[in-house]
Amino acid sequence: MSSNKKNIIIPEQKKRVEIFQNSKVSSFLDVTSISAAAALFEISEKIQNAINNHFSRYNLTQARFIVMLTMYTSESTQCSPVELASSVGVRPPTMTGILDGLVKEGYVSRKSDAGDRRKVIVSLTSKGKKKIQMVLPDHFQRVSVAFANLQKKENNQYLTIVLQEIEQSLNRLQAGVNQKDGK
């Protein structure tokens, strides 16, 4: 794929690229890479806005939906907040806030463990189960329609490659790699 790379510059980026090229840092700046990163940051924000708008039609947040879906599809009807946090990839304090909102809405119940009152057990209420059962068909239908263009085999294969490259780039950014050779 690297031999077929093209400059990725979306219209919003054109002015930024010109600024980069005319700046004092242009001597060590890879404008194409910076432009690709900026485009990804912008699309990331657009994706997050679309997701927020999508879930707001159900009066849910993405985090609440994921927690409810995880609980709904779990083999167990009860779990601890720590297990749930681990399962959905958030920290326990974040899970506490998500669960507080779901408890307030009546979608989740929170009880002390009968065997150890220091432990907390959460479960979906019947209202929570009804909500997720109502949301899922519409959610999956909307997502299927929105991303139908990616169903073509060639689009899907290309997207897989691009997403893998983005993940590698983000791993390098997170690791603090500051040279192209990975050091």
Q: Specify the pLDDT at position 182.
A: 55
Multiple choice CATH, 60-128, 3.30.360.10, 2.70.98.10, 3.40.1190.20, 1.10.10.10 = 1.10.10.10
Q: Specify the pLDDT at position 60.
A: 95
> Rounded to two decimals, what is the model's pTM?
0.73
Q: Specify the pLDDT at position 57.
A: 93
Residues of the chain with pLDDT under 50: 1-7, 9
HEC per residue, the chain: CHHHCCCCCCHHHHHHHHHHHCCCCHHHCCHHHHHHHHHHHHHHHHHHHHHHHHHHCCCCCHHHHHHHHHHHHCCCCCECHHHHHHHHCCCHHHHHHHHHHHHHHCCEEEEECCCCCCCEEEEECHHHHHHHHHHHHHHHHHHHHHCHHHCCHHHHHHHHHHHHHHHHHHHHHHHCCCCCCCC
Q: Where are the domains of the chain?
A: 1-56, 60-128
Over residues 46-98, the pLDDT tens digits come to 989 999 999 999 999 999 999 999 999 998 889 999 999 999 999 999 999 99
